[in-house]
Amino acid sequence: MILPIFGQNTGTMSVQVRETQMRQRNSFLAPVVIDLAYGDKVSVLQEAGSWVQVRFGSSEGWVSTSALTTQEIVLQAGAADVDRAATSNEVALAGRGFNSEVEAEYRSANDMDYTSVDKMETFLVDYRTINDFLGDLGSPLAEGGAQ
């Protein structure tokens, strides 16, 4: 069920992960409209479950709520914004789901090597390839079907 958003999520939200995709429908398997980057501000149109329909520039589409925040993200700090600015290290950690404290704890408790994670982050699979694979399996998820 799609509902208009009323209350605190109206207006704008910011992308809180290193990158995410705006999709044609509210499905991770729907075609990508555009890629969004950390800190991009989107206008909220409506929500449906764990998805938000948004506008970015002249593009409209759907983004997972897990990639968005209502908090303002400041990428370059001026004198007044220095406490809210994100460092490049924080942006990289956000892409892994970490903050600096969590990564420091992991590194101190274990000899962690993120080389494989960094390599996996470079892999790209086109949604059409995924849909073809799911279609060959007879999955209802092909073409963004029921989840």
Domain ranges of the chain: 3-136
**102 pLDDT exceeds 60?**
yes
User: Residue 23, Cβ neighbours under 10 Å: how many?
Assistant: 21
3-state class percentages of the chain: helix first, strand second, coil last, to nearest 5: 30, 30, 45
Q: How far is CA 103 from the centre of its chain?
A: 20
CATH number of 3-136: 2.30.30.40
Q: Report the pLDDT value the prediction gives residue 9, as an integer from 0 to 100.
A: 47
Q: At what angle do helices 88-96 and 100-109 cross, to 10 degrees?
A: 70
Return the bridge partners of 118, or none.
none
Distance CA 25, CA 71 (A): 25
Mean pLDDT for 107-117 is 74
pLDDT, tens digit (0-9, with 9 covering 90-100), for 26-85? 988 888 999 999 889 999 999 988 999 999 999 999 999 999 998 877 666 554 555 555
This prediction has a pTM of: 0.56
Return mean pLDDT, the chain.
77
